[in-house]
Every structure is written in C-alpha cells, then in structure tokens.
Amino acid sequence: MKLPKEIVPNPLVTSTVEVRFYSDLEKSKLLPLVYKRFQNELPNLNENIIPKQIKELDPQFKYSPDFVLSNNDFSLSFGINVISFENVADYKLWNNYFPFIVNGLKGFFELGIIKSVERIGVRYASVFNHAEKMAGVITYIPSIPIDNYKQNFGLFRCDLVKEEINLHLQITDNVKIIKNNKFISGSCIDIDAFYTKKIDPNDAVFSLIEKLHDQEKEVFFSLLKKSFLETLTVKY
C-alpha cells in the first residue's frame, strides 16, 4: 500500500514521539547536563511546573517532563524518566522530524542518562476542520444496532495489536480545540502506537520508532474514505 507523504490542509494537531526510561542519574544533575549538550540547537528553555507533592501522589506524573528545550521548528521535553519530541507550529514532515528525534536520543544515550528503555510511543492526532461528522471521513462507523433506537455516533475507542506493536485508536465527532492560536472544529482520529518491552538504549530504539510511525500511518490512511481523500491535496 503506497501511503501519502503529506495531505493538505494538514490535519495534525499532535505529533508526539515519547520514550520512557529508567535512569539512575541524580535529578539535580539532569538539567545542566542536557542544556549544555543541546543549548546551541535548542536555545529556548522552559520549565513545566508540576508541584512535587502532586507528582509524588499521582503515579501518572512520573513520566511528565520537567523541562522543554525548543527552536522555531521542534521541541524536546524531558524529565528524569522521559524524553519526548514535538513539532512547533506546523508539522515538518517525517523526513525532517525523524532525524531530529534520532539526534536528541543519541545525545541522551551519549550522556549516559538512559539505562534502559521501558516504553516507546508515537501518538498522532488529526482534526479535520469543518468535517463535523465522522461518517463523511472514514469508511465504516462502528455501531451497535438496538431495535427502535436511532444511534448518533460520538466516540469510538479500541486497542489494536500487531506482533509486538499496540495501537490505541480513538475516533471522535465534533472536537473543538485551539492550535497555534487558531480555533479548529471537526472530526478527530487519534492513534497512539506503542511498544512496552524493555530494551537497551541503542539503534534498535530508532528502528522501533520508525516501525511505530509506519504502522500508525498505515492504520490512519486505511480508515479514510477514498471520496474524502479526494477533497484534499494528497502528495506522494
């Protein structure tokens, strides 16, 4: 299946690649070490302020980044157990985005921060502006027929498994968000592809990220109606 490299207008609102890991580094040493390594290419530094008490009480915040380094194109967020990547403003396409991810992870590997990788995730969410009903976007609307009732589609959520790759799929009608100071309203396809087996910090991580991206992309385009794609500009 030949997959597009780009569709215009680009519906992406999230394009996050995240690696969760174990580290034995003292937390106080993390920021000076990382900032010194990336300050020339990612000069902007911001801090994510989540109170220590909340982090200690709620396990979900263990993988919440404490700092964000960025330039005009990309951001690198990190904490003592996580590193994640995102596009700033418009999506820069995978052939530009992936080398940035590889460079960031290699930096963490070289600094000895990551002792073992626990989870790799690639999450892409797209909102098709002004397409308020998913029925006009995807090939099939999940439904449960019940006699004498009309069903209005709102939200569908499921987990897909292929070999060692998991994909959490959410399809939602009439989502409203603000992206880059612009109001967007439409149907949303959100796919989180992830791998959760423990691996060493080496080139295998990069191969898995590419595999997750490719499978997420394959599922995404398999959902779309041909007639809907024809309303967009598709570049191969």
- 159-207 residue pLDDT tens: 999 999 999 999 999 888 888 788 888 999 999 999 999 999 999 999 9
Cα torsion for 67, 82, 161, 97, to the nearest 10°? Answer: 50
pLDDT > 90: what percent of the chain? 76
pLDDT recorded at residue 189: 97
Query: What is d(CA 37, CA 32) in angstroms, rounded to the nearest whole number?
Result: 9
Question: Would 235 be classed as within a structural domain?
Answer: no
Q: Does residue 81 belong to any structural domain of this protein? A: yes
DSSP bridge pairs for 6: 235
E strands in 44-101: 44-47, 67-70, 74-79, 82-87
Q: Total structural domains in the chain?
A: 1
Q: How confident is the model at residue 151 (pLDDT cuts 50, 70, 90)?
A: confident
State the pLDDT at residue 58.
67
Identify the residue with better confidence: 152 or 48: 152
In a domain, 73, yes or no: yes
Decide if 49 is inside a domain.
Answer: yes
pLDDT given at position 182: 83
Answer whether residue 97 shows pLDDT above 90: yes
**Domain-located, residue 230:** no
3-state secondary structure of 121: strand
Does residue 183 lie within any of the structural domains? yes
Q: Evaluate the CA torsion angle 231, 232, 235, 236 in order and state its sign.
A: negative
User: What domain range includes position 16?
Assistant: 6-144+151-225
**Is residue 135 helix, strand or coil?**
helix
Contact 127, 182 (CB under 8 A): no
Q: What is the pTM of this model?
A: 0.92
Query: Residue 1 falls within a domain, yes or no?
Result: no
76 burial type by CB count under 10 A (0-12 exposed, 13-18 middle, 19+ buried): buried
Does the structure show a pLDDT above 90 at 114? yes
pLDDT in tens, 42-73: 999 998 766 665 666 666 778 889 999 999 99
pLDDT at 61: 75
Residue 159 Cα to chain centre, angstroms:
16
The answer to whether residue 218 sits within a structural domain is: yes
Q: How far is CA 7 from CA 176, 177, 230, in A?
A: 21, 20, 10
Mean pLDDT, all residues of the chain: 92
Q: Are 221 and 4 in contact (CB under 8 A)?
A: yes
pLDDT for the residue numbered 130 = 82
Query: What pLDDT score does 157 carry?
Result: 96
Residues sharing a CB contact under 8 Å with residue 61, sequence separation 6 or more, in sequence order: 50, 54, 55
> 75: which 2 tokens?
């951001």
On whether the CB atoms of residues 218 and 107 are closer than 8 A, the answer is no
Strands 116-129 and 182-195: antiparallel
Categorize the per-residue pLDDT at 24 as very low, low, confident or very high, splitting at 50, 70 and 90.
very high
